[in-house]
Amino acid sequence: MVSIYDQDLPQTDANYRVLSPLDFIERSAFVYPDYPALVYGPAQNGIKMNWSQLYARTRQLGSALSKAGIGKGDTVAVMLPNTPPMVQAHFGVPMCGAVLNTLNTRLDASTIAYMLDHGEARAVLVDSEFAAVMKEALSLRESKEPILVIDVVDTYFDTGAERIGSQTYEEFVDGGDPDYEWQLPANEWDAIALNYTSGTTGKPKGVVYHHRGAYLGALSNVLEWDMPKHAVYLWTLPMFHCNGWTFPWVIAARAGVNVCLRKVEAQAMVDNMVDYGVTHYCGAPIVHSLLVNSDEALKSRLPKGVSAMVAGAAPPATMIEGMERMGFVLTHVYGLTETYGPASVCAQHAPWNELGIQERAQRNARQGVRYHLQGAVQVLDPQTMQPVPADGQTMGEIMFRGNITMKGYLKNPEATQESLGAGWFHTGDLAVCEPDGYVRIKDRSKDIIISGGENISSIEIEDVMYRHPAVQAAAVVAQPDERWGEAPHVYVELRPGAEVTVEELRAHCRQYLAGFKIPRHFSFIELPKTATGKIQKFALRQQAKQAASD
Amino acid sequence: MVSIYDQDLPQTDANYRVLSPLDFIERSAFVYPDYPALVYGPAQNGIKMNWSQLYARTRQLGSALSKAGIGKGDTVAVMLPNTPPMVQAHFGVPMCGAVLNTLNTRLDASTIAYMLDHGEARAVLVDSEFAAVMKEALSLRESKEPILVIDVVDTYFDTGAERIGSQTYEEFVDGGDPDYEWQLPANEWDAIALNYTSGTTGKPKGVVYHHRGAYLGALSNVLEWDMPKHAVYLWTLPMFHCNGWTFPWVIAARAGVNVCLRKVEAQAMVDNMVDYGVTHYCGAPIVHSLLVNSDEALKSRLPKGVSAMVAGAAPPATMIEGMERMGFVLTHVYGLTETYGPASVCAQHAPWNELGIQERAQRNARQGVRYHLQGAVQVLDPQTMQPVPADGQTMGEIMFRGNITMKGYLKNPEATQESLGAGWFHTGDLAVCEPDGYVRIKDRSKDIIISGGENISSIEIEDVMYRHPAVQAAAVVAQPDERWGEAPHVYVELRPGAEVTVEELRAHCRQYLAGFKIPRHFSFIELPKTATGKIQKFALRQQAKQAASD
């Protein structure tokens, strides 16, 4: 028998609306049209937009894309630093129904070409700083489909680089309608963004975000931070990383201020913090360390009470301690590209304030508990899919479930099934569950090296090493690094009789890898293997750790 | 052609989870088990529960209901003041899949009987203060189905009233399992609550809330108020009103403190505010006026900076002004039972702080703009369904759309269709749209009188009047009232030659109406009518307004 509550109570336009972060900017533009939305450049005469202006410009972008024939399910790639067009793209692209693919600005041409091909990008917006590499990438594309190329020329950073597109961003957007009647997606499960991750294999995978997840992920960030309306947010975290952990949408939800920043440098960070009254910013540990390690004169200018969100495997306790001494309020979060950035948090407890700074930092360095609107984070035994005991000892794999998990990997049903099929998203990170239920990572994900906030796939480097004729076998692990957090350390076993120098191997890497992925450490050894011939990375990690502390 | 983003990217348990406010309490109990969740009674030796305890008790309630055979789609009615069992019911009842029907504690027996019948309640929890009226209501039920009756006996308010149920609440809950493995609903569109409203006709309509709306409505309240974690919330707003505007779920989302309060009196409010460090509370204007009009000694004890949320047609500017002078931070919201309570807000702008207190109060008294997570609030021409111009002059009807709108009216497809069918929820309230886009009510909903925060249907009173043999015609309108906000004024046209006194009409009303609905003002006149014979309520409202100021 059908329940009385399931009869004659249908969804209508009156009581059902798809969840989409596009709703946030519409509201802020309507309710707070005159409030500042975006600033960039010198405080005196830089770019300033209020919410009404920013909204109009994003509608114009959406309209221009639509006029160019781009619509539902099409991919628009962008290769941009944290400048105003990047903020605008987070709204304008999905407004026309398209999917935003933010490219890591440090990538090499062949990887970009792969992404443009795999994502079937119909347009690309490229900052002139990256025109050269993009030009090469475009020449390497396999697809014969036309692609619309737009040059984004930054007044404050015009290198005079070659124009590779058909028009500039400003010309293109000027052709759009600022009153463009954009539509919400028909389904909240529709894609909003595509983010390539090096993941756990060398081949980039396209992580697809949906509107529902972007909406709830953004709200989770607000809740986690108790972020008030009109917060002033400094863009130190690249927007090409998990869409800046959803913060373009967060700031729209709060009618806050986007303080754009092209380059993350201590001086620029402090200047912007002071000039614009910054209240919040995010970053990998290295970003925060920039401030901790800056000179005293600069530090003395820092405002107190700024909220800083840090993600990273294990933020060094010295960094946490240093930040605290400088008057920052630190929130430690954890997540992956597949979880829209942070999806767990080391939620703090008042009694911890009575602990010594080191013990407190030790607690605060954990991966913690599920985000407010995430369904769960747990350490499971990947064989049985049962939670490990909360004893702080038993290892398992960190897994997430809930709405703040990707739609899946684009055109990769096997990887999607492997990753989500068991009803939990497998992070690949090994951890324990402590007695208070908090997750603590014990071993980094087997294959990923996080260097300066960037994911580097060890397998990708290994693949390159294996291409060198002198190399018999190679294994790459993360070596702790004071500046970068981690750096790849390559252990090479040479073919019998072969000879090669470190310099030759580095030169070989440069042919295939983006600059930031080039390994700094090489060792020639006989690789430790298991009985079945599998390389024992665990042993290598210990060696690398030892090497780091030598 | 299917988009690449719609292929092989299915919803799984890993990336899709129904939205339900039950998720909030699970998280708070897990993350903040030792944080206070609920207090009630004397500060020294009253009831205190932390989130772990409150969660365990609600699971026990859910389990006990489940053991009693109550499950998905069943209705559980409660007639309770703002005491701990009322908070627990907001979680325990939906945990077993049932729907919570909170009954207005001021209702008369026949109306309660109607609601129990119409809602098909399988169980009822009743505070002993209301045992007598509930006993009568149970005897008036038409349904022959059994109903489980549970006596809620409050240690701090035991009147020694007759026990009418099979057991007490504490006995009943003790029989449940504190580790009950409750399930989220299968669908976020499933019902979570049933709230009867007198609406615009005399017959109560059952407004059905769904889990998705309750979840998003609660988050909207957090966002609107910038409500931080661990807020301390005083229960001055009855939880039987729109589930306390979703605040039982809001407080769970924030791991805050529920400060329970049986009776709303100035002394008790101030005591609780001081004793527990209250940071937030809600209420109809009359609740806030209690404080404004309390004696100076009491007022001097009030903490500063407490956030107060007020809803009401047009909060008197004197009340807003008085609250401000007392150091409260006031947020003015607007909504109806059909919109989970507040779904629009008079969002404040910093420049208003430079206005005089009266002009500011005038701006803050508006109904404002859509709630953060509501889709829209607009003043539409109900004929054309087009927005009226934002000229502050043209009248239209306030309409809402979005996720914070009811599922519909229970077992009333006609009313549901009429109310939601055009894609907007019709409030029945007449308003203008001001040049800044803010909604301002100009005329109260034609048929509703809001007296002391309670909805009174004028049609219901008119129906009663028409039953009196001396009455030819009757019309009831709201008369402004200093204490109650509004009070019903009955205009009666007698049959030729008939005679009746006001006292006789009042006695007649007492037979059919709850005490709070008994009209205070009667006038015998010839009713003003249009050419087609329709009573001109507009003219009567002017008379009533005049009568109030006399």
Give the pLDDT band of residue B359 (cuts 50, 70, 90). confident
ipTM of the predicted structure? 0.87
Give the pLDDT band of residue A428 (cuts 50, 70, 90). confident
- The Cα A90–Cα A76 span in angstroms is 11
Q: Do A7 and B411 touch (CB under 8 A)?
A: yes
Q: Do A372 and B27 touch (CB under 8 A)?
A: yes
Q: Do B208 and A9 touch (CB under 8 A)?
A: yes
- The Cα B151–Cα B128 span in angstroms is 6
Q: How far is CA A102 from the centre of its chain?
A: 10
Q: Name chain B contacts of A412, Cβ cutoff 8 Å.
A: 8
What's the confidence (pLDDT) of residue A482? 85
A1 close contact with B: CB closer than 8 A: no
Residue with the larger pLDDT of the pair A67 and B43: A67
- Residue A111's nearest CA partner among A200, A238, A205, A242 is A205
pTM for this entry:
0.87
Q: What is the CATH number of the domain that holds A85?
A: 3.40.50.12780
Q: Do A424 and B15 touch (CB under 8 A)?
A: no
| In a shared domain, residues B491 and B356 | no
pLDDT tens across B426-441, in order?
A: 998 888 999 999 999 8
What's the confidence (pLDDT) of residue A313? 52
| In a shared domain, residues B486 and B436 | no
B402 close contact with A: CB closer than 8 A: yes
* DSSP SS3 for A250: helix
Q: Do B9 and A208 touch (CB under 8 A)?
A: yes
Give the pLDDT band of residue B200 (cuts 50, 70, 90). very low
- Beta-carbon contacts of A1 under 8 Å, excluding residues fewer than 6 positions away, are none
pLDDT beyond 60 at B416: yes
Whether B318 maps to a domain, the answer reads no
A333 close contact with B: CB closer than 8 A: no
pLDDT tens across B493-542, in order?
A: 998 889 999 999 999 999 888 888 899 899 999 988 765 556 778 789 88
Give the pLDDT band of residue B298 (cuts 50, 70, 90). very high
- Residue B282's nearest CA partner among B247, B315, B257 is B247
- The Cα B379–Cα B432 span in angstroms is 6
* Domain end (from B384, B419, B443): B443
- The residues in B 121-180 lying below 8 A from A, measured between CB atoms, are none
Give the pLDDT band of residue A531 (cuts 50, 70, 90). low
What's the confidence (pLDDT) of residue A199? 47
Residue with the larger pLDDT of the pair A69 and B541: A69
Give the pLDDT band of residue A262 (cuts 50, 70, 90). very high
pLDDT beyond 90 at B398: yes
Q: Name chain B contacts of A120, Cβ cutoff 8 Å.
A: 4
Whether B228 maps to a domain, the answer reads yes
Task: Find the closest chain B residue to A405 by CA distance.
Answer: B15
What's the confidence (pLDDT) of residue A459? 72
Give the pLDDT band of residue B411 (cuts 50, 70, 90). very high
Whether B133 maps to a domain, the answer reads yes
What's the confidence (pLDDT) of residue A319? 73
**Would you call B299 exposed, middle or buried from its count of C-beta atoms within 10 A (0-12, 13-18, 19+)?**
middle
Give me the residues paired with residue B195 across strands: B207
Residue A378 parent element (H or E): strand A376-380
Q: Name chain A contacts of B400, Cβ cutoff 8 Å.
A: 14
pLDDT beyond 90 at A448: no
Region B278-297 average pLDDT: 88
Q: Name chain B contacts of A349, Cβ cutoff 8 Å.
A: 32
Whether A1 maps to a domain, the answer reads no
- The residues in B 443-482 lying below 8 A from A, measured between CB atoms, are none
| In a shared domain, residues B464 and B432 | no
B21 close contact with A: CB closer than 8 A: no
Instruction: Report chain A's mean pLDDT, rounded to a whole number.
Output: 92
A222 close contact with B: CB closer than 8 A: yes
| In a shared domain, residues B272 and B413 | no
Task: Find the closest chain A residue to B187 by CA distance.
Answer: A6
Contact A339, A407 (CB under 8 A): no
- The Cα B284–Cα B290 span in angstroms is 10
pLDDT beyond 80 at A387: yes
What's the confidence (pLDDT) of residue A358? 76
pLDDT beyond 80 at A5: yes
Angle at B72 (CA atoms; ends B68, B74), nearest 5 degrees? 65
Mutate to test the interface with B, among A6, A7, A9, A419 (most CBs of B within 10 A): A9
What is the β-pairing status of strands B257-259 and B36-40?
A: parallel
pLDDT tens across A330-358, in order?
A: 999 999 999 999 999 999 999 999 998 87
Q: Do A190 and B5 touch (CB under 8 A)?
A: yes
Residue with the larger pLDDT of the pair A321 and B523: B523
Cβ-nearest to A423 among B14, B31, B408: B14
* Amino acid, res. B63: S
Q: Name chain B contacts of A405, Cβ cutoff 8 Å.
A: 14-15
Whether B11 maps to a domain, the answer reads no
Give the pLDDT band of residue B445 (cuts 50, 70, 90). low
Cα of A423 to nearest chain B Cα, Å: 4
* Domain end (from A262, A279, A296): A279
Region A260-287 average pLDDT: 93
What's the confidence (pLDDT) of residue A174? 98
Instruction: Report chain B's mean pLDDT, rounded to a whole number.
Output: 92
What's the confidence (pLDDT) of residue A109? 95
Q: What is the dihedral of CA A54, A59, A60, A65, to 10 degrees?
A: 130
Q: Name which of A366-370, A514-518, B256-260 the model is least confident about.
A: A514-518
B349 close contact with A: CB closer than 8 A: yes
Q: What is the CATH number of the domain that holds B425?
A: 2.30.38.10
For residues A288-314, one letter each, b for 16 or more C-beta atoms within 10 angstroms of the residue's C-beta and e for the rest, the string is bbbbbebeeeebeebeeebbbbbbbbb
Whether A215 maps to a domain, the answer reads yes
- The Cα B184–Cα B19 span in angstroms is 9
pLDDT beyond 50 at A27: yes
Q: Name chain A contacts of B1, Cβ cutoff 8 Å.
A: none
A437 close contact with B: CB closer than 8 A: yes
* DSSP SS3 for A190: coil
Region B139-152 average pLDDT: 97
What's the confidence (pLDDT) of residue A316? 61
Q: Do B10 and A408 touch (CB under 8 A)?
A: yes
Task: Find the closest chain B residue to A370 by CA distance.
Answer: B27
Contact A50, A252 (CB under 8 A): no
| In a shared domain, residues B355 and B463 | no
| In a shared domain, residues B142 and B63 | yes
| In a shared domain, residues B437 and B453 | no
| In a shared domain, residues B362 and B453 | no
Residue with the larger pLDDT of the pair B464 and A200: B464
- The Cα A477–Cα A528 span in angstroms is 13
What's the confidence (pLDDT) of residue A447? 67
* Domain end (from A253, A279, A305): A279
pLDDT beyond 90 at A233: yes
| In a shared domain, residues B431 and B452 | no
pLDDT tens across A179-211, in order?
A: 999 999 999 999 999 999 864 455 799 999 999
Cα of B190 to nearest chain A Cα, Å: 7
Cβ-nearest to B424 among A14, A16, A23: A14
What's the confidence (pLDDT) of residue B335? 94
Q: What is the CATH number of the domain that holds B500?
A: 3.30.300.30
pLDDT tens across A388-402, in order?
A: 999 998 989 999 999
- The residues in B 412-431 lying below 8 A from A, measured between CB atoms, are 412-413, 416, 419-425
pLDDT beyond 60 at B170: yes
Host domain of residue A520: 448-549
Number of structural domains in chain B? 3
A219 close contact with B: CB closer than 8 A: yes
pLDDT beyond 80 at A318: no
Region B59-70 average pLDDT: 98
pLDDT beyond 90 at B29: yes
Residue with the larger pLDDT of the pair B29 and B443: B29
Top mean-pLDDT range of A245-254, A362-371, B318-327: A245-254
Q: Do A5 and B190 touch (CB under 8 A)?
A: yes
- The Cα A36–Cα B27 span in angstroms is 35
How is residue A66 written in tokens?
């639509």
Residue A64 parent element (H or E): helix A51-67
B15 close contact with A: CB closer than 8 A: yes
Whether A361 maps to a domain, the answer reads no
Q: Do A208 and B372 touch (CB under 8 A)?
A: no
| In a shared domain, residues B426 and B277 | no
Q: Do B9 and A416 touch (CB under 8 A)?
A: yes
Contact B165, B151 (CB under 8 A): yes
Top mean-pLDDT range of B149-153, B451-455, B516-520: B149-153
Whether A426 maps to a domain, the answer reads no
pLDDT beyond 80 at B201: no
Cα of A250 to nearest chain B Cα, Å: 12
- Residue A368's nearest CA partner among A289, A422, A314 is A314
Distances (CA, A) of B436 to A29, A30, A172: 12, 9, 31
